Structures are given as C-alpha cells and as structure tokens.
Structure 1
Amino acid sequence: MDERDRAIIRELQANARLTNRQLAARVDLAPSSSSVRTRALEERGIITGYHAQVDLDRVGRGVQALIAFQVRPLSRDVIRSFEAFALQQREVLSVFVIGGGDDFLVHVAVPAVADMHALLMDRFSKRKEVVGFRTSLVYDHTHRWTVEPVIED
C-alpha cells in the first residue's frame, strides 16, 4: 500500500459517495487508475465496505449500553459460539473479544431500558456458557469513529 492508496482510503472514509471522477481528482490520478486502485483495495480486503451512518436516537434506539460478559469454559469453540450468537441479535452493534477479567464487551442499542432488561434476561443470561455479566449504560456517546486511521508505513 503506497501513499496514493492511503489517499484513496482517506477520501472514501470522508465521503464514500464520491464518484470515481471526483475521487480521482482529489488524489491526483486518472479516473481509470483510481478505479483500478480502489477495486484492488476492495479485493485485498483493505476496504471492507461502505455504509450510511445512522443517528440511533432518531431511529428509536437511543438507549445504549456496554455489557461485559464472562463465559465458561473458556475455549475457542465457546468463544466463537457466543460471538456468533451475539452478532445475530439485532440490538448488538459491536462485539469485542477481550482479555482481563471479562471475556466479551458487547455494545447494544435498544428503544428503552425494559428492552435492555429483556435482552439480557430472556436471551443472553439463558446461554449456558454465560457465567456473569455487568452492564454499563451509555449516557453520552460524544465520539463516533467513522474513520479508521490509516497507519503510515
């Protein structure tokens, strides 16, 4: 990955709706070269997708929480199984496998606190591998990462 590739990534992170012609002009490439490079970044798995960022409050999912889970036995199969289950839940935004006292950190967004309670009691706590969890409500989410920093070589 060279500086032109990093420039393409930065521009698309700032505005993924750029046309190829606009992108090419911003990174000082011919449109054909811009298209080839962008496609190569996608094929190499460096660019993994494009999305629209949504305001969770405005779509009725304003109650957010970070839930730390402990699972047992701690094995690769249990970790993968719990991770897959969590990602299937429509309320789940992100799943992190972590080290330390907890095994997972799960970011969820729901319409109301009662929905959070139902999610935890009716679905997560019924999993046999879950031995404990702690919930931290998110009062304010002031910084949302929409751009992953591209490390310079």
Structure 2
Amino acid sequence: MLDRIDYALLRLLRKNARLPNKDLAEKTGIAPSTALERVRRMREAKILLGYHAEIAPEAIGIGLQAMISIRLARHSRALVDGFHRHLLGLPEVLACYHVAGADDFLAHVGVRDSEHLRQFTLSALTEREEVAHIETRLIFEFQRNVELPPLP
C-alpha cells in the first residue's frame, strides 16, 4: 500500500524522472537513503514501470499525429492478441489502447504528413482481414498531464 510519502515521490518523478535522489529526499522531507529505498521498492513492486524521454515530434520527422479507432470483424483471444502485437510492432504507433465499447483499439500514431497517414492506414490496417472499420481523427495538440490523481 502506498502512503503519502510514496505518492509525493511518484508525483515528483512523474513531473521529472531525472530528479536526483537528494532532491527527491529534500522535497519530501525524508533522508536520501529512505528516498532511494522507497523508489527501489516501488520499482521492484512494478509500481514504477519505467522512465521515458519526451521528444519533440517535429525533431524526429513527425509532422502529423492522429488517433485511429479500430473495430475488429471477429473476436477471439488469438485474433485480439495478434492484432495488438501487430499494432505495437508498427513504428508509427506511439501508443496503443485496447478499449471497451463500439471499437476495439485506439492507436495514437505519428507520421510525416497526410500522405504518410493515408499509406499507413491502407497498408497497416485496411489490408488486414480482421479489421472491420477504422475511423481517423487528427490530433491538433497533445500534452501529457504530469499530475497524479489525489491520494486515495
């Protein structure tokens, strides 16, 4: 069970995963050794799953982002799992969500331009027999919320 100190550490790391341990300790009012041990424990318990770098899309050639809703024609564990693996194997897919409702997946994609998006949807999605329907929404702006929900 996480306590208020764990939540404070998680909030700080969510905002800046590169924050030095001494700063984590100072900002939460605990000893550096305690901060180090708590973060280690949260990693081992799979509470902290990893760290990432937020990269400017334009810097790596992404000029257009979209959210694509995908509905499968049939459902079985093997089809759903196989399609999920397919999406995660595509370099254009920035994030993949398996969802409930009318659609089965949401894929957040990053591409060069509208022609790249067109080619991607045609080759990676519409040519797959398990796909029944896709709907594409362009993303004008994306910002990650670094805040955590309030302490339970």
- Cα deviation code 1:57-78 (max 9, x no counterpart): 2321021111111112112221
- CA RMSD between the two structures: 1.4
| TM-score in terms of structure 1 length | 0.91
**1:109 aligned partner:** 110
Q: Which residue of 2 is the match for residue 33 of structure 1?
A: 34
Contact 2:71/2:105, CA 8 A, preserved across alignment:
yes
Gaps of at least 5 residues in structure 1 are none
Structure 1: distance between partners of 2:145 and 2:101? 27
Contact 1:62–1:112 (Cα < 8 Å) also in 2: yes
Give 5+ residue unaligned stretches, structure 2: none
Instruction: State the shift of 1:123 in Å.
Output: 2.0
Aligned to 2:53: 52
Query: Which whole-Å CA distance do the structure 1 matches of 2:123 and 2:3 have between them?
Result: 49
Q: Is the 8 A contact 1:61 1:112 kept in 2?
A: yes
What's the TM-score, normalizing by structure 2? 0.92
The one-letter code of the counterpart of 2:148 is P
The residue aligned with 1:130 is 131
Residue number in structure 2 paired with 1:149: 148
Match of 2:94 in 1: 93
Q: Which residue of 2 aligns with 1:16?
A: 17
| Preserved CA contact (<8 Å) 1:13 1:146 | no
Distance, in Å, in 1 between the alignment partners of 2:20 and 2:91 is 32
The share of aligned pairs that are identical, in percent, is: 33
Runs (4+) off by over 6 Å: none
